[in-house]
Amino acid sequence: MARNASIRRKLVVTAFAWTVGLVIFFPILWTVLTSFKTEGDAINIASFFSTGWTTEAYSVVQSRSNYVQFAMNSVILALGSTFFALVIAIPSAWAMAFAPGKRTKDLLMWMLSTKMMPPVGALIPIYLIFRDFGLLDTRGGIITVLMLLNLPIIIWMLYTYFKEIPGEILEASRMDGASLGKELLYVLTPMAIPGIASTLLLNIILAWNEAFWTLALTTKDAAPLTQFIASYSSPEGLFWAKLSAASTMAIAPILVLGWFAQKQLVRGLTFGAVK
């Protein structure tokens, strides 16, 4: 009896998990399938599976726009913003985890609260700043915005990881004569590698997929893959297959990265949750 009940329970849970997984995965699946259809099939909801598969949409996208340049920008923006964010976030998180002041908790909350504001609220001032300083459509400008955008999350994540590291080890390095910089570089960072790695991965994914600011502040020179996708959306004509092909090409690299980094990400995100 008991065994039957537990098997049934497992079946229900498994079925539920698969359902949730498929619902989450469905848009991606649909996009990929649509990208291999003809434009005619693409707008016909009834033909979930195409009548004739074709790579026509991909060749059109290839010939019309320079994928490599967009992808290059995406890579530079994602890696650049992540790198600079870590350079700022590691010392900040160190200070908050190992030398907390009276208002450290408030500071952390305040940083998080900036993520609660809808970004569109800051669009006009930031757009004006970018215009006046000549930062529109420059990689440096977008890297700065993406870095600032994700900094609160990075500092929070690193803070959580650093809290798990015993302070005595850092004190030992101070007794051993390590300066603050060397303490961070030779002792803290190597010990926090798993946490830093998952923070890095998550931030690359967030920066890669960020669309609001990249669409608003770039046109051509600094335009990443989000612009590449958006350029196939048009008010008229048939474009679903081409749009899907562009989307598939845009998400493919990050999907592969995510796949390889899965284990690291899961470990990082549940770090400290289970002792």
Chain residues in the site for another protein (CB under 8 A): 166, 168-169, 171-179, 182, 186-187, 190-191, 193
What three-state secondary structure class fits 78? helix
Complex with another protein: residue 75 or 95, whichever CB lies closer: 95
Q: Which is nearer to another protein, 62 or 179 (CB)?
A: 179
Closest separation between CB of residue 264 and another protein, Å? 17
Output 169 or 252, the one with its CB closest to another protein. Answer: 169
Q: What is the largest CA-CA distance in the chain?
A: 74
Nearer to another protein, 118 or 177 (CB): 177
Q: Find the shortest distance in angstroms from Cβ 178 to another protein.
A: 5
Residue 167 Cβ vs another protein, minimum distance, rounded to whole Å: 9
Alpha helices in the chain (DSSP H): 2-35, 39-43, 56-64, 67-98, 104-113, 123-132, 139-163, 167-175, 180-182, 189-191, 193-209, 212-217, 225-230, 240-269
Rounded to whole angstroms, the Cα distance separating 25 from 22 reads: 5
Q: Which is nearer to another protein, 171 or 221 (CB)?
A: 171
Q: How far is CA 196 from the centre of its chain?
A: 15
Tokens matching residue 248: 């598939």
Candidates 82, 28, 48, 77; CA nearest to 248 is: 28
Q: Kindly state the smallest distance separating residue 47's Cβ from another protein, in Å.
A: 56
**Considering the complex, what minimum distance in angstroms separates the CB of residue 169 from another protein?**
5
Give the start-end residues of each E strand in the chain.
Answer: none
Output the six-digit token pair for 239. 């474009």
What is the three-class DSSP state of 88?
helix
Q: Pick the closer one to another protein by CB: 21 or 194.
A: 194
* In the block, residue with structure tokens 């952390």: 108
Q: Whole-number minimum distance, CB 95 to another protein, in Å?
A: 16
Tokens representing 40 are: 């005619």
CB 218 within 8 A of CB 76: no
In the complex with another protein, the residue whose CB is nearer, 177 or 237, is: 177
Shortest Å distance, C-beta 105 to another protein:
17
Yes or no: say if 155 and 196 are a contact pair by the CB < 8 Å rule. no
Percentages helix, strand, coil for the chain (3-state, rounded to 5) are: 75, 0, 25
